[in-house]
A and B are shown apart, each in its own frame.
Chain A
């Protein structure tokens, strides 16, 4: 029951309240991504576990304050679990394979596995040092924080809207992704439905065999549905294109291909030793050519956009807060590397550096300025002694009406019933 709560301004202090999200004031999906990437950049600059925890807390708070009920928003929990797994795996590797950090504090000693000579430098088991484990923990935590930042962007930004902001030439790819996104849940729904239908034939509905038994019908169903969708899309004008002169078409192809080639060469130059001189100019030229190609390619598409998200003040504030976090932490890392990367040899307790911490807190700004999704706003009112089914508000009203019609004992029963329901949900 981790549902979002609206932040209430402290009594006495009247902050301007963020408006309810509607289509008109919806925050640009790109703003969320910039904000999250800012947090991720900050996370990549530090291994201080306290700062990293603060970044996770900031991201988590903003997500809980501003996410919707959409399926992608509910995936944030999955990213948290993924982060925990990353940390655990990283620490486990450090324990089993040892670490190069060195140190003096032996936690315990594992039996060491003798390895053949050609695997020199690799060690299995042996002494486990506190320094090495701690170092891996910091390192794992940093990676986990990066993942959680991406998870936050994923939870907050509507992927379909983000795809709508793509250049026209990439539109068709965008539609394919959106269709795939709606197909995946349908496919899962089909698997569940067919699996439970197996019971109607008197077959077990659990286990691998049940899953294998429904695979073929599910795929057949999915195929039928995609054919029907393709027909519907065709009949609705998908893929209409304007006629463009052959010269423009050829220029588009040349620009796009040449540009991408330039990007590859440029990146190679940047990464290769001693190639930095030609790397950057080639990369930039390539990028410009590719973008021009995309722009020209967009002229083939006749389509227009319905109510694209606008980049307004709130989008500036949200993305700006992310950029600010990144910039401030990068500066702090340059001026005070020791505070942001606390040494593990010798073992020291990390301390929370004040200024970088304050910088990270800038990332909370979206929780104040971003429009509140309708579902998140409604929540505080139904946190009382009864639970309101979210999707079926009117259900509950009729439910209450009928209860008042009936006798006292029955009403008691209903109340107990709903208390039981709450208890059931709390344990879930």
Chain B
């Protein structure tokens, strides 16, 4: 269905090809997952399938890409529109019309299908994607998951034989992501559509993939194969695979279900190695201080809608709190209220003892810092160095403070680079450095892991954990359950603008099926949440449990796991 024949793509002004000598064939009716670290050329590969590379982006493409027998060299994207449907990362950038029904019909109108066919297909697609109630709604009034489904629907109506998706679930909460993935499953199974999708959040998708196409790094040869087999050597892997590698399971489990079936012995070993660790607590040296942020009875309205209602939250120094909840639950609003970007309608907000609404921006900066959802919102300058100089003067910090932070968080970035040319993760680190220049005791992050690969995420986790150890309080709004499990001392769940759960991470996330991290699901009722916790437990367990004859195989397994990179 999709054939790459010795394809090398080089963009203008780039010293290296973005992808080199890709040579593979994706058969019809399969869901292929494209994985790889940031910058490995995933977007380029996806663009090459629908012809946008090189017709739209420029650059040169050597070799040959054929989709359903059409050569992209001779067919422009618009001439492939009837066989390839493409959905980019941001569904809002995809919309041409203003309401759901017209959006679904747009592609068919361009192809010139007869009105009766269009009508029938729109109705079918509305049902297929569960959009029937939304048919008259303006696109801007939809939630993120709904927008993503409309974007997928809008390319499905032309009945493409190939569907190409770039990070379809990254911006979605776990439930909305499930929704989108269920639709993709259905397309593959019922309609025989060939799906190629790239995704950073492998824990959500890898179990649905028929094949995995791995781009291990810039310029490295691509590998195509069975998911479990590719995952054994993939540099990016979801927690379930990491746990499987640690425990030495073969073949590797890809879903929680598979892993749970094999986890019996591991669970008994963990139980033998001691009880689950006590809930993570902030370092005790800071616990005596008063809260850095205290919110009581907070209500916020926007227009006529209540976004937050009677919210209570307090954050102590050295503590990290994860705010979770579905898209639109009020997480961002809560963070923004703490930095005076929204005015509370009722209630009391105190940040570092001061009311943010009555504090001048210059002073508020030293009490609390927010890294917004899109770090670009914070970056105005033309180069990293300019940005740092501006941040120093904004924060009235000693010149060089920000530069030193950047050097620590982003050692590889040159001072002259333009902030917009950085990768998603680098931009986040730059924005974080800018905010940290004022050394605020309270740091807020809104969806920090959106678009980050596992390596970037790991680095972020380390940086944030280090900050909390040094007494900063961190509050992050996130959909990423693995990040919350890794980092947060406490989880606060918001729904419809109200706090519905607030407690230690282990208690809150384990109790919820959608917020539980994979490791917790696999090892339940054991209280461990992350692979690193399991690894630590096994290491100590292996130390004192050598003689108790618990089974050599497992000890070996743990050894294998430790040996894995």
Interface, chain A (partner B; CB < 8 A)? 22-23, 70, 160, 175, 178-179, 181-182, 185, 193-194, 196-205, 213-214, 216-217, 220-221, 225, 228-240, 242, 302-307, 374, 387-392, 395-396, 398-399, 402, 417, 421, 425
Q: In the assembled complex, which residues on chain B have CB atoms less than 8 Å from the CB atom of A389?
A: 303-306
Q: In the assembled complex, which residues on chain A have CB atoms less than 8 Å from the CB atom of B97?
A: 160, 178
> B435's closest neighbor in chain A, by CB?
A200
A398 touching B56, Cβ below 8 Å: no
Cα–Cα distance between A213 and B81 once the two chains are bound (Å): 40
**Is B86 engaged at the interface, CB distance under 8 Å to the other chain?**
yes
**Is B361 engaged at the interface, CB distance under 8 Å to the other chain?**
yes
A231 touching B56, Cβ below 8 Å: yes
Cα–Cα distance between A392 and B369 once the two chains are bound (Å): 30
**Is B257 engaged at the interface, CB distance under 8 Å to the other chain?**
no
Interface, chain B (partner A; CB < 8 A)? 50-52, 55-57, 76-82, 84, 86, 88, 90, 93-98, 101-102, 105-115, 118-119, 122, 135-136, 138, 140-141, 154-155, 158, 299, 301, 303-306, 309, 339-341, 345-346, 361-365, 369-370, 372, 376-380, 390-391, 394-395, 420, 434-435, 438, 496-498
Q: How far apart are A145's CB and chain B's nearest CB, in angstroms?
A: 30
Instruction: Please name the 8 residue pairs, one residue from A and one from B, whose CB atoms are nearest each other, closest first.
Output: A237-B81, A237-B110, A306-B105, A202-B365, A302-B112, A228-B93, A389-B305, A197-B377
Q: Is the interface of A mostly helix, strand, loop or mixed?
A: helix
Cα–Cα distance between A354 and B388 once the two chains are bound (Å): 74
Cα–Cα distance between A398 and B435 once the two chains are bound (Å): 37
Which among B101, B114, B306, B362 is the interface contact of A23 at CB below 8 angstroms? Answer: B101
Q: In the assembled complex, which residues on chain A have CB atoms less than 8 Å from the CB atom of B391?
A: 201
B304 touching A390, Cβ below 8 Å: yes
B378 touching A240, Cβ below 8 Å: no
Q: How far apart are A182's CB and chain B's nearest CB, in angstroms?
A: 6
Q: In the assembled complex, which residues on chain A have CB atoms less than 8 Å from the CB atom of B395?
A: 202
> B122's closest neighbor in chain A, by CB?
A306
Query: Would A200 and B115 be within 8 Å (CB), given that A236-B106, A306-B105 are in contact?
Result: no
A200 touching B370, Cβ below 8 Å: yes
B380 touching A240, Cβ below 8 Å: no
Cα–Cα distance between A303 and B76 once the two chains are bound (Å): 17
Across chains A and B, the number of contacting residue pairs, with CB separation under 8 Å, is 191
Cα–Cα distance between A73 and B426 once the two chains are bound (Å): 43
Q: In the assembled complex, which residues on chain A have CB atoms less than 8 Å from the CB atom of B158?
A: 237
Cα–Cα distance between A331 and B122 once the two chains are bound (Å): 49
> A196's closest neighbor in chain B, by CB?
B341
A234 touching B377, Cβ below 8 Å: no
Name, among A201, A213, A237, the residue most crowded by chain B CB atoms within 10 Å (CB to CB). Answer: A201
Q: In the assembled complex, which residues on chain A have CB atoms less than 8 Å from the CB atom of B379?
A: 217
Which among B52, B113, B138 is the interface contact of A231 at CB below 8 angstroms? Answer: B52
A178 touching B96, Cβ below 8 Å: yes
A235 touching B112, Cβ below 8 Å: no
Q: In the assembled complex, which residues on chain B have CB atoms less than 8 Å from the CB atom of A242?
A: 112
Q: In the assembled complex, which residues on chain A have CB atoms less than 8 Å from the CB atom of B98?
A: 160, 178, 181-182
Query: Would A395 and B497 be within 8 Å (CB), given that A306-B122, A307-B105 are in contact?
Result: yes
Q: How far apart are B561's CB and chain A's nearest CB, in angstroms?
A: 42
Query: Would A236 and B340 be within 8 Å (CB), given that A199-B361, A306-B115 are in contact?
Result: no
Cα–Cα distance between A399 and B119 once the two chains are bound (Å): 39
B496 touching A395, Cβ below 8 Å: yes
Q: How far apart are A75's CB and chain B's nearest CB, in angstroms?
A: 15
Q: In the assembled complex, which residues on chain B have CB atoms less than 8 Å from the CB atom of A214?
A: 380
A200 touching B78, Cβ below 8 Å: no
B346 touching A234, Cβ below 8 Å: no
Q: In the assembled complex, which residues on chain A have CB atoms less than 8 Å from the CB atom of B394?
A: 201-203
Cα–Cα distance between A175 and B98 once the two chains are bound (Å): 11
Cα–Cα distance between A179 and B139 once the two chains are bound (Å): 13
Which among B52, B94, B301, B380 is the interface contact of A421 at CB below 8 angstroms? Answer: B301
A199 touching B93, Cβ below 8 Å: no
Q: List 13 A-B contacts (CB under 8 A).
A: A194-B377, A202-B365, A202-B395, A217-B379, A231-B77, A232-B94, A242-B112, A307-B105, A389-B304, A396-B306, A398-B496, A399-B309, A417-B299
Q: How far apart are A14's CB and chain B's nearest CB, in angstroms?
A: 29
Q: In the assembled complex, which residues on chain A have CB atoms less than 8 Å from the CB atom of B114?
A: 304
Q: In the assembled complex, which residues on chain B have CB atoms less than 8 Å from the CB atom of A304?
A: 108-109, 112-115, 118
Q: In the assembled complex, which residues on chain B have CB atoms less than 8 Å from the CB atom of A182?
A: 95, 98
A307 touching B115, Cβ below 8 Å: yes
B109 touching A305, Cβ below 8 Å: yes
Cα–Cα distance between A234 and B47 once the two chains are bound (Å): 12
Q: In the assembled complex, which residues on chain A have CB atoms less than 8 Å from the CB atom of B420?
A: 220
B93 touching A202, Cβ below 8 Å: no
